[in-house]
Amino acid sequence: MTTESSLQRQFAFVTGVLICALSTPAVAQSSGDWVDIKDPEELRALYSNKTFRGHGWVGHYRPDGRGIVITDAGGRFPRTWQVKGNDQICVTTEVGAPDSYRFKRHSKNRNEILLTGVENGVSRQFTVEEGVPKF
């Protein structure tokens, strides 16, 4: 027989799992929903005077190649960016080697972006907005 405290723990666990699952950003399942960005000018425009909003972070990027990512936990991480070739942006943090990314834009909502790390293959989805605050 299950005790009341055991049922409460099970309920709390299931509730926590549901909250985590529902707070994770949804990524479109069909690869046909995404269009590769393979133009250096479009990549430059993607980062010039733009704000990126992802799950747990926001990034601001200026046309001069500087940017900053601010996490919901209060971390602030300055970085620089530059276009590499026809299809990549490389981002360098103060303490690390450059990370290069390829980008896709959602075919119906052009503000939805999917980036994939060239080295590690990890993908993240975020939205892009015009403008940045002073930093």
What percent of the chain has a predicted confidence (pLDDT) above 70?
77
Q: Is residue 73 domain-resident?
A: yes
CATH number of the domain bearing residue 37? 2.40.128
Count: domains in the chain: 1
Predicted pLDDT at 95: 84
Q: Which of 41, 37, 39, 42 is nearest to 105 (CA)?
A: 37
**Is 62 within a domain?**
yes
Domain membership flag for residue 126: yes
State the average pLDDT for the chain: 83
Residue 122 is part of which domain span? Answer: 31-130
Distance separating alpha carbons of residues 97 and 73, to the nearest angstrom: 23
State the residue for tokens 């430059």: 44
60: pLDDT confidence band, cut at 50, 70 and 90?
very high
